[in-house]
Amino acid sequence: MGMWASLDALWEMPAEKRIFGAVLLFSWTVYLWETFLAQRQRRIYKTTTHVPPELGQIMDSETFEKSRLYQLDKSTFSFWSGLYSETEGTLILLFGGIPYLWRLSGRFCGYAGFGPEYEITQSLVFLLLATLFSALTGLPWSLYNTFVIEEKHGFNQQTLGFFMKDAIKKFVVTQCILLPVSSLLLYIIKIGGDYFFIYAWLFTLVVSLVLVTIYADYIAPLFDKFTPLPEGKLKEEIEVMAKSIDFPLTKVYVVEGSKRSSHSNAYFYGFFKNKRIVLFDTLLEEYSVLNKDIQEDSGMEPRNEEEGNSEEIKAKVKMNSFLCFFLFAVLIGRKELFAAFGFYDSQPTLIGLLIIFQFIFSPYNEVLSFCLTVLSRRFEFQADAFAKKLGKAKDLYSALIKLNKDNLGFPVSDWLFSMWHYSHPPLLERLQALKTMKQH
């Protein structure tokens, strides 16, 4: 009877209290689930102290131990930074941090002569203050990760001065993009009428296409030096490979990643008939012999999780954004959503976007994220199978091992942790899939 009485009491609470409680409950549920998964993987790091028999020909004991200790340190850091992030978010909600920041933004606007009717201006001040707060609270964690963990394990190449200059530059560039785009989006929502969600979706679609198009030529060079790959055998072989499979390669760049980290990577990006490959200079330095094979494989399949996603995943995300804007249009008129987060007298559009997209949609976003992770792994296996078809199974097999060793990737994974988190299949699974074709 006691349990049912508690449930009855919960449902008798005002709608805004139920919404707020549900948001906090789900947030901590996800955090505890993520922590449970992380502890499963951490147990693997702690107990797997010797190279497993199936890895005997792949990784030596010294590299295996370095990788294990590196991942243990990263796991410890992830636990504490995650706990801090969840606690900070909870305290912000409990103590009314969002409405306070909105009122503070209004006061700043008032000092400049802008009244409450200038909602978009107040929204931009709110965004500026919110991102500044996020940057400042995240700075100590970023410093520790770079100058303690990455430094300890031999990856960090940055000086403190370079790091701070880079952080300031990132913040300024972010504001230069975020504020104009947000103001236009809010304006479209304001004047769009009953079908504003269609116009808002189209606007965000156009913005994303423009940003991807101009990123390499105008944004990325602000942070890293991009140079065309010099003429020579490597470039020639990449172009021959691209032409043989009708890959519309237009340019091959080398990015100066070594001034930040000794980690190596490669990725491609672009739309339609304008594809470009980017190679990290650390990759070229490390693989003087295997250069050609690694670049052939890396160029034809995504290696960068952020920029190398398949076109099918991108299409699904675009349709998802349309659905989200449609549901936003349905929910934006519900005053109890605003009241749940401390907005009793006003319903600012930006706050509505924040509440609905970040909090109300969080269960849906978790499910979608998992589905896209599964889909990404499937595409990675397809990419590996394509390499097999080209007769490159042996080369890819060697390249994956080299990349894993030099980046100190730990080759043993907990099945549940990898299923939930890994957008790329674990190394052993990829090698096993390639093994059957390696001899051919």
Q: Would you state the pLDDT for residue 295? A: 37
pLDDT value, residue 5:
54
Q: Give the residue-averaged pLDDT of 275-294.
A: 67
Active site residue 336: no
The string of pLDDT tens digits covering residues 422-434 is 988 888 888 888 8
Q: Catalytic site residue 8?
A: no
Taking 90 as the threshold, does the pLDDT of residue 275 lie above it?
Answer: no
Q: Per-residue pLDDT for 412 more than 80?
A: yes
pLDDT recorded at residue 302? 34
pLDDT over 70 at 280, yes or no: yes
Model confidence at 342: pLDDT above 60: yes
- Please state the pTM of the whole predicted model: 0.86
Evaluate if residue 84 carries a pLDDT over 50.
yes
Name the one residue in this structure whose structure tokens are 């504003």.
196
Average pLDDT for 292-304? 37
What's the confidence (pLDDT) of residue 9?
Answer: 59
Supply the pLDDT for residue 312: 52
What pLDDT does residue 434 have? 84
Contact 383, 333 (CB under 8 A): no
pLDDT band for position 4 (50/70/90)?
low
Kindly name the residue from 150, 293, 301, 395 that is annotated as catalytic.
301
The catalytically annotated residue of 16, 34, 380, 384 is 384
pLDDT value at residue 146: 96
Q: What is the pLDDT of residues 153-205, one digit of tens each?
A: 999 999 999 999 999 999 999 999 999 999 999 999 999 999 999 999 999 99
